[in-house]
Structure 1
Amino acid sequence: MNYIQQAYKGDNTWWKVWFTTLLTTGIFILNFVFYLFTTAEDLEEAYDLMKQMPTNISLIVNLLPFAVLLALLFLCVKFLHERSLLSLTTVRKKVDVKRILVSFSLIVVFTLVTFLISYSIDSSEIVFQFQPVKFLILFIISVLLFPFQIGFEEYVFRGYLMQQIGIFVKNKWMPLIITSVLFGLAHSANPEVAELGFVTMIFYIGTGLLLGIMTLMDDGLELALGFHLGNNLMAALLVTSDWSALQTDAVFRYTSEQATQTLMEILIPILVFYPVFLIILGKIYKWSNWKERLFGKVTKPLVLEEDIPLQDHTKEL
């Protein structure tokens, strides 16, 4: 049984799917509507208002709602759809924590190395602002709350929606594309989009594709969870800027008042680095039959495999 087929283990009555989807993704829908119908001046005022809050308070305000949303998603899956959380996470008998650590380490090392190279070449617009006490508080908040944020985004996009769309359209490529686009649109209200323009959506959608491919090829969310967590922690702890989505007491700060990324700088990670990540992970986990795993059909299994009891794997989640 592949990852998308796991959805067949639960009750997929149409109104339950719509209820769960709207309940958990409503915040993203409102953000997108806000972005579409708000003028550039009003957006700038909203971002300026957020910047007036203490950085750590602002971070908590931004991240804490995801803990509530993740809890709502889990409750809906468990009691409304009558499925185990394990079936939403992986096809394996338990969550593979080692996989999470591998992808987490991969993106953290990559981010640190590329930043240090960039810093050594040109540090004219990068300021070292490390303050031990402030950074420690930031670190604690990040470690406690980012898992909820990335957990919710992965479980709702690469998990719940990918599975539900997959069993509806009966293939794998369409949920991969749809959830990646939705993942991009969910970030449309980020300050980077307002600063750089809608072209930034290419990066978010491309990242969604990367995480979706990881999930389908590996038949589980573990690699996507680790990668996403490592990326967001680095974004919060390593370097910040006045125009980034997260205003934090990071180690470094970009002093440029405006974002200066070009289209090529946005495309390079998607066209060069992301395929390298997939090749590395493919070698580690011996992925094969890419065509079937990414473009194959989704059919209801004749026999549904039983999950181990929920209490046996709660510590792994």
Structure 2
Amino acid sequence: MTAYAPHYRYIAPAQVAHYDLPRLVLGMILIEAGYHLGLNLVDAFLASAPDSFVDAVHGGTSRTGLMLQLFSFVIFGIAAMMVTKHLHERPAITLFGPPAQAWSDLKRATAGGLLAFGLIEFLPPYYPMQGAILNAPIAWISTLPLAMFAILIQTGAEEIVYRGYLQQQIAARFRHPAIWLIVPNLLFASAHWDTTGGVGAAQAYVIWAFFFGLAASDLTARSGTIGAAIGFHLANNAFAFMAFGTEGHPDSGLALILFPAPDSLLPPSVTEAQFDFPQLTIELLVIAILWLAARIAIKR
């Protein structure tokens, strides 16, 4: 595919290094093991902290707690870079593509995605705002740069693993786009399985995550870097974490606008216990809009 010509240059470093499947499987095991070992060390460090603080970190229910949770993803990204360097014997920087272009793509895709979300918010239908409150707006503004950096760490780490390491290594072994587009994102989607809100909600979330990852993989293939995918992911998660939340609910710590708990006043969402097909359809449409905005921004 002509549109994916940059992808062949992107995966070239993986093709001249070790790209056998057993090594890839071992690499993913080492990445996951390193990540969970790192999280265990973080938990050990938090053991002496008050229970309320630890709960806020695990649940992301406070500003500091959620940022610490997001910053912990740096372990995930470092694990992938170490595996790339020491197991596959190629420079970790090759996971990103050309650095200058990756940085440019990241900035452009982030700006395009945030602009798209802004335009979507101005269009009907509108959220019912009964009972909603502004969550410490001065603190929200003052911590905005640090919060965005924390989200960049989280999204960047996930992109390094799934659209960087996995996609490159699989594409080095299998040339057909269907394989390197689908397989990494089946793993990405499975990592989002969470039955806390019910099986129906978990199923919807996994489907959403698969198509989200597919869009990120496509951007990576079109641009030849993971910069656009990180920007696409960053814009999505910045809006998800920093715009709206439910008081006391997971990942609500950075939200500017909080709805009261229980969330009976919230619009339907894929976090509800049942499988909400109409809402999932809307969420997938938002992915398509965000993907298109990123493509326009990076001119791909």
**Same-fold call, TM cutoff 0.5:** yes
- Does 2:83 correspond to 1:70? no
- Does 2:142 correspond to 1:128? no
Q: Is the 8 A contact 1:7 1:163 kept in 2?
A: yes
- Give a deviation string over 1:171-230, Cα, whole Å, max 9, x none: 221121111121111111275666834222221111111111111122221110111112
What amino acid maps onto 1:263 in structure 2? Answer: F
- Does 2:278 correspond to 1:264? yes
Q: Which residue of 2 aligns with 1:112?
A: 118
Counterpart CA distance in 2 for 1:57 and 1:160 is 30
Q: TM-score w.r.t. structure 2 length?
A: 0.74
- Give a deviation string over 1:113-163, Cα, whole Å, max 9, x none: 3234358x4433461313145324653542332222111100100111111
What amino acid maps onto 1:228 in structure 2? Answer: H
Alignment counterpart, residue 101 of structure 1, candidates 104, 107, 122: 107
Q: What is the DSSP-based 3-state SS (H/G/I as helix, E as strand, rest coil) of the residue aligned with 1:96?
A: helix
Counterpart CA distance in 2 for 1:72 and 1:224 is 19
Q: How does 1:121-200 map to 2 (within 5 A)?
A: 121-125=126-130, 127-136=132-141, 138-189=143-194, 191=196, 196-200=201-205
Q: Is the 8 A contact 2:135 2:258 kept in 1?
A: no
Q: Is the 8 A contact 1:138 1:248 kept in 2?
A: no
Alignment counterpart, residue 252 of structure 2, candidates 234, 244, 247: 247
Counterpart CA distance in 1 for 2:295 and 2:138 is 41
Quick one: structure 1 residues 29 and 249, their matched pair in 2 at CA, closer, same or farther if it must change by over 3 Å? closer
Q: TM-score w.r.t. structure 1 length?
A: 0.71
Q: Is the 8 A contact 1:108 1:234 kept in 2?
A: yes
Counterpart CA distance in 1 for 2:297 and 2:145 is 32
Q: Which residue of 2 aligns with 1:202?
A: 207
What amino acid maps onto 1:237 in structure 2? Answer: M
Counterpart CA distance in 2 for 1:27 and 1:196 is 29
Deviation at 1:235, TM superposition (A): 1.6
Deviation at 1:105, TM superposition (A): 1.0
Deviation at 1:253, TM superposition (A): 1.8
Question: Mean Cα displacement is larger for which, 191-200 or 225-234?
Answer: 191-200
- Does 2:69 correspond to 1:56? no
Quick one: structure 1 residues 228 and 167, their matched pair in 2 at CA, closer, same or farther if it must change by over 3 Å? same
Counterpart CA distance in 1 for 2:131 and 2:230 is 29
Displaced runs of 4+ in structure 1, greater than 6 A? 27-30
Q: How does 1:286-301 map to 2 (within 5 A)?
A: 287=300
Counterpart CA distance in 2 for 1:237 and 1:124 is 16
Identity %: 18
Q: What is the DSSP-based 3-state SS (H/G/I as helix, E as strand, rest coil) of the residue aligned with 1:253?
A: strand
Q: CA RMSD for the aligned pairs? A: 3.3
Deviation at 1:16, TM superposition (A): 4.2
Q: Which residue of 2 aligns with 1:236?
A: 241
Q: Is the 8 A contact 1:5 1:167 kept in 2?
A: yes
Q: Is the 8 A contact 1:192 1:243 kept in 2?
A: no
Q: Is the 8 A contact 2:232 2:291 kept in 1?
A: no
Gaps of 5+ in 2: 1-7, 38-54, 270-275
